[in-house]
Chain A
Amino acid sequence: MNGLDWFFNGDYGSAAPNWPAMFLGLLLAFGAGQIIAWVYMLTHSGLSYSRSFVNALIIMPTLVSLVMMVLSNNLITAFGMMAVFAIVRFRNILRDTLDTAYILSVLVIGMACGTQKFSSAVLGCGLLSMVLVFLWYTSFGSRHRYDIIVNLHWARSMKEIEDLRRILSRHSWKTHLANQRSHEGYEGTDLSYRLLLRDSNRVEDLLSELRQVTGVSRVTSMLAEDESEL
């Protein structure tokens, strides 16, 4: 710790900072946010699911923890922060919760610099950046991951669908039958599969093998990008 004294002595707050407690608080907030986000992912139902909101659930506890540390019971600083945030919010419509978190991040870092808590500013900036990169790199919050949507017409009986599934399982880790449509007077069934591929560069091989299966026709595919689940 002695070698980093120059860094940890960079806070000129009214009270001496307790660095281990500060680091523990930030880590605990990050871990707790991750638990809450997982619970949200597990229990959320409906169409309003947003990966961005899940990311905000993780970053917010860490961010608020840093805000409270920088404020350190200073009511004037707290009012100042709320005023700046209100001004930014007044001129910008923040539709995304994660955008709000980013605004709050730069506000708290600016506050830390302005109140001469230089070490806290550097530490908070580094930790928040690491968490945000982690969320992006791991695609945190994506629930229904798939690489490709395959639509086809199955002319045989559904009892013989195993022939088709064997091909799909050969090329994909996960196979999900998203849609199955058949109606009276219509021969066969229209199927729509979502696939998480074993090798996303061999889509053509998959489609070629599917077309060779007896009873399969009208095979079409659509690649799903990472942004398909916002």
Chain B
Amino acid sequence: MATMDSLPPIPTPVAQRWREFRIQILPIITFVAILSMTVMMWRNFVQPSGLAGDAEVVKANVISLHDGVVDEPRAELSQSVTNSQVIGTIVGTDPDVLKAAVATVEAELPSTRP
């Protein structure tokens, strides 16, 4: 604090002021600039090296109300399907035809015995 009888300071040349600036202030300005660039790059480019998460598997059972053989499957393995989408065709077998075939075989059995 200047006292009442303090003498006026002599003027400081620009070169002298610049010397003080580059020695005292410039390192701080440089550090702040580096810190800002580091924070900016850190936020933009640093990514987590690993990822943790939960995986949920959705399962659905596809059944047919009638007996038969799958014919012309229309979906590939691991293909996503939606509700009411046709994914295959079941070729059904009539029970009366089966009974008739069994009866025919049974009728033919005695004639084949020696």
A residues sitting closer than 8 Å to B (CB atoms) are: 20-21, 23-24, 27-28, 30-31, 34, 134, 137-140, 142, 145, 166-167, 169-171, 173, 197-202, 205
Contact = CB atoms under 8 A, between A and B. Distances in A.
B41 A24 contact: yes
A169 B41 contact: no
A199 B23 contact: no
Contact of A27 (B6, B20, B23, B41): B41
B27 A170 contact: no
Summarize B's interface: helix, strand, loop or mixed: helix
Summarize A's interface: helix, strand, loop or mixed: helix
Contact of B42 (A24, A199, A205): A24
B49 to A, nearest CB: 12
Residue of A21, A24, A134, A166 with most chain B CB atoms under a 10 A cut-off: A24
For the complex of A and B, list the 9 residue pairs with the smallest distance between their C-beta atoms, beginning with the closest: A20-B45, A170-B7, A24-B41, A31-B34, A198-B12, A27-B38, A138-B27, A139-B23, A138-B26
Which size class do B's interface residues fall under? 20 to 34
13 contacts: A21-B45, A24-B45, A27-B34, A27-B37, A31-B35, A134-B30, A139-B22, A139-B23, A170-B10, A171-B10, A198-B11, A199-B12, A200-B16
B37 A199 contact: no
Contacts of A34: 27, 30-31, 34
B50 interface: no
B44 to A, nearest CB: 8
A187 to B, nearest CB: 26
B81 to A, nearest CB: 40
B105 interface: no
Interface string B32-54: 00110110011011100000000
Contacts, number: 68
A23 B41 contact: yes
A30 B41 CA distance: 15
B56 interface: no
Contact of A170 (B8, B37, B46): B8
Contacts of B76: none
A202 B11 CA distance: 10
B13 interface: yes
Given A24-B42, A199-B12, A140 B35 contact: no
Nearest to A30: B34
B114 interface: no
Contacts of B10: 170-171, 198-199, 202, 205
B9 interface: yes
B7 A199 contact: no
A167 B27 contact: no
Contacts of A138: 22-23, 26-27, 30
Nearest to B12: A198
